[in-house]
Amino acid sequence: MRTHWAVVPTCLPLVRRRCHACASERFRPSGKFRVNANHKLIDVWLLVLCTRCGDTAKLAVLERVTVRSIRPELLDRLHHNDPTLTADLLQAPVVQRRNRVALDWDDAWRLDTGGSEHPDGETVDVSVRFAARIPVRPVRLIADGFGLSRAEVDRLIMEGKLVSAVRLRGRLSGDFTFTLKH
Ligand SMILES: [Zn+2]
């Protein structure tokens, strides 16, 4: 049989960044943008708050961009602090690179197995879809999805009963499939 699982965000991820005020290393998105227009140039920042002391930091989204080059629809979303825009920008590789930050997805996602159980005595092909680029360990995902222990999953890999084109013991953040044989 074939089944589909999904890795879905449950909330916004945290931002890994060192706080200059308290040395904490996690910020949470405030959901607010700061837009600064100067003559014909515009700067946009995403505001994040230290999870320990609440200090604000700015993540640069746009730097000295001409106003006319920005779609009016985007400006509108920025001015209204559009929450889906926050999620999109946090995950944008260009924003992460520019600000030298990475995301912390711990406790910010769940596995949706569509209620499928571990079918006894049947080979099952599972395709896993990622709703966002959330780095997870497939072995942990498989253990959760089938209600197995990590040791049991390791044993299935060793016995050749759990196979995939990807490395199941590494980390992944994109769609993959695997097969559990009996
Ligand atoms: Zn702090």
Helix (H, G, I), strand (E, B) or coil at 154: helix
57 Cα to the center of ligand 1, angstroms: 10
pTM: 0.83
15 Cα to the center of ligand 1, angstroms: 12
Q: What is the pLDDT of residue 115?
A: 76
Q: What residues are neighbours of ligand 1 (ion), with CB under 5 Å?
A: 19, 21-22, 24, 50, 52-53, 55
Structure tokens at 155: 């044993």
pLDDT digit string, tens, across residues 40-62? 899 999 999 999 999 999 999 99
pLDDT digit string, tens, across residues 118-153? 666 789 999 999 999 999 999 999 999 999 999 999
Q: What is the pLDDT of residue 114?
A: 85
Mean pLDDT of 71-86: 92
Residue 80 CA to residue 69 CA, distance in Å, equals 19
Q: What is the pLDDT of residue 182?
A: 78
